[in-house]
Amino acid sequence: MHPFTSKEGRHPVPTTDLLTAALAHAGRGWYVFPLRPDDKRPAFPDHTADDCTGRDPRCRAAGHHLGWEPRATTDADRIRRAWTHRPYGIGLACGPSRLVVVDLDTPKDNATGPTGLDTLAHLAATHATVIEPTYTVTTGRGGTHLYYRHPDDGPDLRNTAGTLGPLVDTRAHGGYVVAAGSTVAGRPYHVDLDTDPAPLPGWLATRLAPAPLPPQRPVVVSLPTDRSGAYVRAAITREVDRVTTAPAGERNRCLYIAAVALGQLVAGGALAEDDAHSVLEQAGVTAGLRTAEAYRTVRSGLTAGARRPRQVAA
């Protein structure tokens, strides 16, 4: 069985250079996964959470939809099996790898003006510092990826687009980059400076930190006072705790599992769908997920759970 699981029945293609590069990235402790050959898009899974039927072997084994991030791996055997199957590009999952990648772009269509590197250098100057050397990749279109170690303390940093300024994006938890050794549209990504990633500068971490959450009003769920009501209340508490105590990198997955569990109770008539959605979305946001991300995950989980209704004894 293919280690990342595909519906495609392709013959193996020798991919020595890509395999060597993927193993080298994994050797640094970076989690990799296959991209479509010569493309930025993940090769697996070939469906979204909303379209997951559970037939994909990895999804079936996990008991829920398994996206590209939890499929990322440092396992050399899985990597060898994957990259001798097809000439996949190499995706690097930033969250599990504990990386923050600053993506410095160049003006499109040969336009003139400041580059992303110019923007970052100006920001550094305003903080009376310079951009220290770190692991650096030149992208296929001539941009630059600066790799930094994610801070060990503080909140999980997420992806940003333009937060630091024009032509400067970042990838962290929930994001990935095309790794060196890959090509996109025939253009190679290659290492420009091969050194260990530097710690993310404090001034950058401060600018990238998510805004504090506004005070959260507790979601009040009206339930009967009988035994069935107590059972549902305990189930809600258990699933909320699952989400709010989930470790970094596991929060979205735990939210999905919790939504599946409560979705079964919704389908069985023991819990209102609006109540389940509200309490789980708030739990996801409290855990550090973005509102839109939590909304989508809860919706997908409730839909999946509705396929297996669960009755509660009176």
Q: Which of 112, 210, 217, 214 is nearest to 167 (CA)?
A: 112
- Candidate from 14-28, 102-116, 163-177, 219-233 with smallest mean pLDDT: 219-233
- Candidate from 43-52, 76-85, 122-131, 193-202 with smallest mean pLDDT: 43-52
| Number of Cβ within a 10 Å radius of residue 189 | 23
pLDDT, residue 290, reads 80
- pLDDT tens sequence across 54-111: 788 888 887 777 889 999 999 999 999 999 988 999 999 999 999 999 999 999 877 7
Q: Residue 280: is its pLDDT beyond 90?
A: yes
Q: Residue 215: is its pLDDT beyond 80?
A: no
* Mean pLDDT of the region 264-288: 91
- pLDDT tens sequence across 222-274: 778 888 888 999 999 999 999 999 887 788 889 999 999 999 999 999 999 99
Amino acid residing at 222: S
Alpha-carbon distance of 203 to 123, in angstroms, equals: 9
- DSSP-derived pairing of the beta strands 144-149 and 99-104: antiparallel
Residue 172's alpha-carbon distances to 11, 96, 132, in angstroms, are 34, 9, 19
Under CATH, what is the fold of the domain 98-172+191-208? Prim-pol fold (3.30.2250)
Q: Which of 222, 261, 224 is nearest to 241 (CA)?
A: 261
Tokens of 21: 């590069």
Mean pLDDT of the chain: 89
CB 31 within 8 A of CB 93: yes
Q: Residue 24: is its pLDDT beyond 90?
A: yes
* Mean pLDDT of the region 207-233: 79
Q: Which of 215, 133, 154, 145 is nearest to 180 (CA)?
A: 145
Radius of gyration of the chain, Cα coordinates, nearest whole angstrom: 22
Write down the domain spans for the chain.
16-94, 98-172+191-208, 227-305
Alpha-carbon distance of 44 to 68, in angstroms, equals: 6
Which residues in 142-260 belong to E strands, given as ranges? 144-149, 160-161, 168-171, 176-178, 183-184, 187-188, 190-193, 198-199
Tokens of 252: 């979205």
Q: Residue 310: is its pLDDT beyond 80?
A: yes
pLDDT, residue 11, reads 38
